Structure formats: structure tokens, C-alpha cells
A and B are shown apart, each in its own frame.
Chain A
Amino acid sequence: MNDAAILEVKGVTKRFKGLVAVNKFDMLIRERTIHSLIGPNGAGKTTLFNVISGIYRPEEGKVIFLGEDITGRKPHVLVAKGIARTFQNLRIFPNLTCLENVMSGQHCRGRCGTWSSIFRTPRQRAEERRIQEVAERWLERTGLWEFRNELAKNLPFGLRKMLELARALATEPKLLLLDEPTTGLNDKEKEDIMEFIGGLPEMGIPVLLVEHNMNVVMGISERITVMDMGEKIAEGTPEEIYNDPRVIEAYLGREEAVA
């Protein structure tokens, strides 16, 4: 718990027309942890997620990443700085091979332009080789090695989820944002992917996990932030959250909480 802060969200507010999707939100993510952000559907989790990854610009507040104010920076800039993400509704590149999909992660680590690519300069070839090597290592670690030359759209759903994860990891992130990685998976696949995610902090990759299903995150999270109606309603270790009456209320409603 004494690890340094990776990401700090300070008083972030995001509105859509009249609707306040995220309201003066604070959160702190530390190194070598899995930090989960949970809350019922429509709580504003994905909106906050999109603010952190640069898709939305917040009306108020700041996002600080490794001591640097990154509020409102474009996503591709943030990826280069070390924030990678996946999508709730899976956005792989369907007509490209799995290897090409994962190689996209290394795009931001490359420098070579049009001319060096046409003339295949030694520097360009070395860079291509490195891009491919990193991609292959992640395909191997995620168990997708044998599918490397398959088109991504031909993979079964569970493996496509894994592919998206491999692609994000290939950016060599300093923080990985995962938006409901278990949505649509069966129990076995859920277990596999959560086990894989659980191993990431050991590789030096802290994770911010967004989920609406509380049971999924209880086992692997070190810290949990609970969100409802755009506001933070609780934060703590899984046990604290599990017994927090406000959380139970948010998830089950007042009546049930009393009963």
C-alpha cells in the first residue's frame, strides 16, 4: 500500500447536456495493484474510463498520470505515455490477422516513416523485427500463438477478448485499463482471463478494472472503488466494500438492504 501513485483522478466532472455522468470524482491508483471500479449499470464507470483514456475531455477536474497532468490529451498521446485500454464491447481489427492486431500495440513505439518503409532501411527492418517480436511474445503469453496468422474475426469470442488484451499489453503500458473484460464469457473463460489479469501486477503492470459484477472483482482486487450515479460512494479493500451498507444499497436498492 506504500507504493507510489500511478494515476490520480481529481474532482473530475463530465456532463452530457444536462446529465451529470461523473460528478467531482476522486480516485488514486497505486503501483503493482489491481484497482477495481464497480457500480451498477449506468453509474458512470465507462464515462470515467473514457475521461482517463482521453476519449472525453472532462468539464472539471484533472487526471494526473505519473505526476503529469494529462487531462484532455488525445488517446494516441496517452498510449505513448503508457495508458492502454480495452473496450467493453470488444473492438479488435476484424479483417487483420491476430499478429497484426497485436502489432498495433507497438505502433506508438515505432518511429519509421514513409520513405524508410519503402526503402526498407536497416533501421526500419530492425524496428519491424522488434515490433513483431513484442507482438509474438504477447500472443504466446495469452495462449494465442497458434492463431497468429488467423484473421481476428475468425476467432471465437473468448479468444477475441484475449486478443484485445494482448493488443493492449503490446503497447508496454504502465497502466492497463480494462472495461468489463469478462462480459459475454462463460465461467471457464472468465476464470482463465481473470487468472491472467491477476498475474499482471507481478509483471509490473497495474490494472484499473471496471466491472458491474461485484463477484468477479472480489477475489483479485486489492482496492475497490464503488460508483453510483456518477459519484464515489465507497472505497476500500474487498472486505470493507463487501460489508458496506451503502454499496449493498446501491446494488440492491433500499428495500432489500433493510430486509
Chain B
Amino acid sequence: MRGIIAGLRNDPRARRIAVGIALALVVAYPFFASAYWVDVAFYLGLYTLLGLSLNVILGEVGLFNLGHAAFWAFGAYTTAILNTRFDIPILALIPISALATAGFAWLVTSPIIHLRGDYLCIVTIALGEIVRLALNNDPGGITGGPNGIFGIDRPRIGGLVINTPTEFYFLVWIIVVLCAWALLRLQNSRIGRAWNYIREDELAAECMGVDVRAFKLLAFTLGAALAGVAGNLYAAKMMVVSPESFTFMESCLVFMIVLLGGMGSVPGTLLGALVVSLFPELFRPLASYRMLIFGIALVAVMYFKPAGMWPRRRATFRSVIGREAGKA
């Protein structure tokens, strides 16, 4: 097993084949699994997307955001309100929800972006609760209070209505794969590196020319945009949104996905989402001990593998100044 993993790491061709096989499995899965398990895989996709979105904020930049459900809720409610009131199609609302949530995130995180570590964490917890309570209180009669909003439409592409678990499965996983691809590319770029510099040492990053404030805000808005997309998919799937879906517990679960999987690791986030969303399926009798067991798992991972179950491995670059330089 170790040999295979090492092989995958060192050989880009082997890695490409592995990714190809994984993608083929994702495509083939709904044709072999029962409708129930396809549905489970939809939620796995949804949590992976949420995990990826928080990973930008928490994993790449190290900003402790325990209020991520606020962005998820904002996306879901944006979709629900615009769809039920103005009949805007669900799929057209994907970019709109993303933009609206990004704007919201920019607005609410701008004043708190300079806070560090635990302080930011506390404020984001408050942010999550404020959003949930606001939705609950039905401001201006637009969020429907505790009952939420009903009658959200199904996504439609031309004449095709996305309705069955399999169709939803493909919708969410296409988006997950696209996001993962984009985020992997960002990781190995000026943007991704700047985020990592901030996570490693904020003052040093600032003194190396990184506009720390701007890049933290970028991470928050981008992460929130992806959470907004997840909110859109969730609203379309459930056809109803209500405040009780966006509790502090949800923020914690997503937080845990990133920590368990590995901060800043895209495949780690997938693995973390797998653990968090499959556990209640596989161990139904233990359902009421879920939080206890997750807590223990978190402590165990932090103790034995502090970088997560599938930590990010730093890329090695092919030299651009040539090999002979090494002899100098």
C-alpha cells in the first residue's frame, strides 16, 4: 500500500491514472448503488463542497471560522427567496447565490478581518448565530420565520428536470469536481501561496509584501461564494429551507471535515467529508453518540496525525534555471 502511494506521489502519469479511475468510479457509482445510497452520496458531495469552501478560509489561510453555516444559509435563502418570489430558475441562481453570499461575506468580515485566532473564532460563532436567529425572526416577512420557505423549484436544463437522486448526484458532483480542480490550481499559484504565507506567519507574510488584509478577505469571499453554491444545491434538493438546518452544529461538522482531512488539503477534505457523512449511515445505533465519537476522533487525529488524515504535500517544482545551476 505504501509503495503504491509513494508511486502515485512521484509519478505524475500514475497520479493522472489514479484520478481518472476515481472519476470513473464517481460516474459509475449511481448505476450500481441503490437510490438510497445515491442519495447518501449526494449529501457526501454537498458536504465535500462545504468542506472545500471552508478549506479555503480555514485550511489555506488558517482563519478559524466557526460560523460557516451562515454563508451556507445565506446561499440557500437567496436561492429560495429569488426562486419562490421571482421565479428565477434554480440553475441561474447558482452564480447569483454565489455572488450574493460573497458580497455578504465581504460586508460582514471586513470589520473583523484583523482579528486573530480565537478572537476571530468567537466572532464567527456569533455571526452564525445572528444569521440563524435573523432568519428565524422573519425580517420583513421574507424568510418565513421558523417554518422557512416552501415550494422551491427543481433545477431545469432545457426540458430536463433534475429530480431523481441520480440526477442530483451528478449535479452536485460535477460542481464538486469543478471546484476541486479550480482550488487545486489556485493552490499552486501566487494566490494560494500568499494564503499559505499568511497561515504560516502573518507578520512575515506582510513583511514579504503580501497584502494580508486583502488576501484574507479574498479567502473569505471566495469560500463564502462556494458555500453559497452549496446552499443553492441544498435548497433545490430539499425544496424547503428553514433556519434549523443551519445550526452551530453544522458549522462544527464542516470545521471538523477540514481538520480531520487535513488543513489545506483538497483530497483530505474529501476524506473528511466521507468520514463525517458516512459515519451516521454506517453506525445508526450509535447515532446519539455521534458528537461524542466525532470529538474523540478529532482528539485522536490531532494527537496522532496533527496535519490531518491526508495532509497536503507541498509541490516540488521543476527547475526553470536548469540543472547545471545546482553545481554552482
Contacts and interface: CB of A to CB of B under 8 A. Distances in A.
Interface of A: 53, 55, 74-76, 79-80, 84-85, 87, 91-97, 99-100, 103-105, 107-108, 110, 112-114, 117-120, 124, 127-129, 131-133, 136-137, 140, 145-146, 148-149, 151, 167-168, 171
Given A76-B211, A117-B191, 19 more contacts: A55-B207, A91-B201, A91-B204, A93-B205, A94-B200, A96-B200, A99-B317, A104-B205, A104-B208, A107-B194, A110-B190, A113-B191, A114-B191, A114-B218, A117-B186, A133-B321, A140-B328, A148-B317, A168-B208
11 contacts: A75-B207, A79-B208, A92-B201, A92-B204, A96-B193, A97-B315, A100-B314, A104-B194, A124-B189, A140-B326, A149-B317
B314 A80 contact: no
B204 A79 contact: no
A127 B90 CA distance: 38
Interface string B154-189: 000000000000000000000000000010011001
B325 interface: yes
Nearest to B214: A76
A121 to B, nearest CB: 11
A203 B54 CA distance: 45
B1 interface: no
Interface string B223-260: 00000000000000000000000000000000000000
A84 B210 CA distance: 12
Nearest to B181: A118
B128 interface: no
Contacts of B325: 136-137, 140, 145
B317 A114 contact: no
Contacts of A103: 193
Interface residues of B, number: 35
B319 interface: yes
Given A117-B192, A120-B185, A136-B320, A107 B200 contact: no
Contacts of A146: 326
A85 B315 CA distance: 26
A108 B200 contact: no
Interface in B197-216: 197, 200-201, 203-212
Contacts of B328: 140, 145
Given A112-B190, A113-B191, A133 B320 contact: yes
Interface in B67-87: none
A87 B193 CA distance: 20
B137 interface: no
Contacts of B207: 53, 55, 75-76, 79, 85, 87, 91
Of A55, A95, A171, chain B has the most CB atoms within 10 Å of the CB of A95
Contacts of A107: 190, 193-194, 197, 208-210
Nearest to B322: A136
B321 A140 contact: yes
Contact of A128 (B190, B205, B316, B319): B190
A76 B208 CA distance: 6
B196 interface: yes
A79 B209 contact: yes
A53 B206 CA distance: 11
